Chains A and B, each alone.
Chain A
Amino acid sequence: MTESQVNLTTAATAIKPGRVGFSLHRVWIIGLNTFTESMRQKVFNILLIFALVAISSASFFTEFTFSEQLKFMKDFCLGAVSVFGTLIAIVGTAQLLPNELENRTIYTILAKPVRRLEFILGKYIGMALLLFISVLMMSLMLGAVLKIKEARMVMVAQQGVDQASTPDAREAAEGDLAQIRADTADLDIIKGIILIFIKLSLLAAITLLISTISTSMIFNVAVAFMVFFAGHLRSAATEAWAHHKIWLALLAILPDLGAFNVADDINLGNLIPWQHVGLVAADGLGRIVIILIATHLIFAKREI
Chain B
Amino acid sequence: MRHKFLAILVLVLAAVLFSPLENRIQAERVWRKYGGARVSLPLREKLGQGTAVALLAGLRGVVADFLWIQNADYFVKDEWVPMYRNIELVTTLQPQSTTFWEQGAWHMGWNIGYSVSKDPKNENTAQGIRREREWHQKARDFLLRGIDNIPQQYDLYFALGWLYWTKLAKDCGENTDCQRAAYSKAAEYFGAAGEFPEAPTYIGREYARALEKCGRDRDAYEYWKTLWKADHKMTNQLWTEVERNIKRLEDALAIPEDKRVPRNKDDGSLQVPL
Interface-lining segment among B1-9, B117-125, B261-269? B1-9
Query: Would you list the 6 A-B pairs with minimal beta carbon distance, nearest first?
Result: A75-B61, A290-B14, A252-B15, A294-B7, A264-B61, A79-B62
Q: Given A259-B29, A261-B60, A270-B33, are A252 and B19 neighbors across the interface (CB < 8 Å)?
A: yes
- Chain A residue contacts of B271, Cβ below 8 A: none
A211 CB, min distance to chain B CBs, angstroms: 13
Chain A contact residues: over half helix, strand or loop, or mixed?
A: helix
Q: What are 22 inter-chain pairs, A to B, with CB distance below 8 A?
A: A65-B99, A75-B61, A82-B59, A83-B57, A174-B236, A213-B4, A252-B22, A257-B58, A259-B25, A259-B29, A264-B94, A269-B153, A270-B96, A280-B25, A283-B18, A283-B21, A290-B10, A290-B11, A294-B11, A298-B3, A298-B4, A300-B3
A69 CB, min distance to chain B CBs, angstroms: 10
- Chain B residue contacts of A295, Cβ below 8 A: 7
Alpha-carbon gap, A276 to B25, bound state (A)? 7
Interface range on chain A (Cβ under 8 Å from partner)? 35 or more
Give the contacting residue for A301; candidates B3, B32, B202; CB below 8 A. Answer: B3
Alpha-carbon gap, A147 to B132, bound state (A)? 42
> Is residue A186 contacting chain B, with contact meaning CB distance below 8 A?
no
Alpha-carbon gap, A200 to B181, bound state (A)? 55
- Chain B residue contacts of A168, Cβ below 8 A: 202, 205, 238
Alpha-carbon gap, A83 to B56, bound state (A)? 12
- Chain B residue contacts of A82, Cβ below 8 A: 57-59
Interface-lining segment among B35-43, B108-116, B184-192? B35-43
Give the contacting residue for A235; candidates B2, B26, B56; CB below 8 A. Answer: B26
A222 CB, min distance to chain B CBs, angstroms: 15
Whether B26 lies near A238 (C-beta < 8 A) is yes
Alpha-carbon gap, A61 to B72, bound state (A)? 10
Whether A268 lies near B96 (C-beta < 8 A) is yes
- Chain A residue contacts of B14, Cβ below 8 A: 286-287, 290
Alpha-carbon gap, A263 to B62, bound state (A)? 11
Alpha-carbon gap, A257 to B153, bound state (A)? 29
The 0/1 profile, CB within 8 Å of B marked 1, for residues 220-232 of chain A is: 0000000011001
Whether B34 lies near A267 (C-beta < 8 A) is no
Whether A172 lies near B57 (C-beta < 8 A) is no
Alpha-carbon gap, A295 to B29, bound state (A)? 31
Q: Given A252-B15, A300-B3, A301-B3, are A267 and B61 neighbors across the interface (CB < 8 Å)?
A: yes
- Chain B residue contacts of A111, Cβ below 8 A: none
Alpha-carbon gap, A78 to B200, bound state (A)? 31
- Chain A residue contacts of B130, Cβ below 8 A: none
User: Which A255-304 residues sit within 8 Å CB-CB of chain B?
Assistant: 256-265, 267-272, 276, 279-280, 282-283, 286-287, 290-291, 293-295, 297-298, 300-301
B224 CB, min distance to chain A CBs, angstroms: 15
B197 CB, min distance to chain A CBs, angstroms: 14
B169 CB, min distance to chain A CBs, angstroms: 18
B156 CB, min distance to chain A CBs, angstroms: 13
Alpha-carbon gap, A72 to B62, bound state (A)? 7
Alpha-carbon gap, A261 to B40, bound state (A)? 18
Whether B11 lies near A172 (C-beta < 8 A) is no
Alpha-carbon gap, A291 to B62, bound state (A)? 30
- Chain A residue contacts of B17, Cβ below 8 A: 286
Residue of A nearest to B72 (CB): A63
Residue of B nearest to A78 (CB): B61
Whether B241 lies near A167 (C-beta < 8 A) is yes
- Chain A residue contacts of B25, Cβ below 8 A: 256, 259, 276, 279-280, 283
Residue of A nearest to B29 (CB): A259
Known: A233-B56, A279-B28. 12 other contacts (CB 8 A): A65-B103, A75-B64, A232-B58, A235-B29, A236-B38, A261-B35, A270-B34, A279-B21, A286-B17, A291-B11, A297-B4, A298-B4
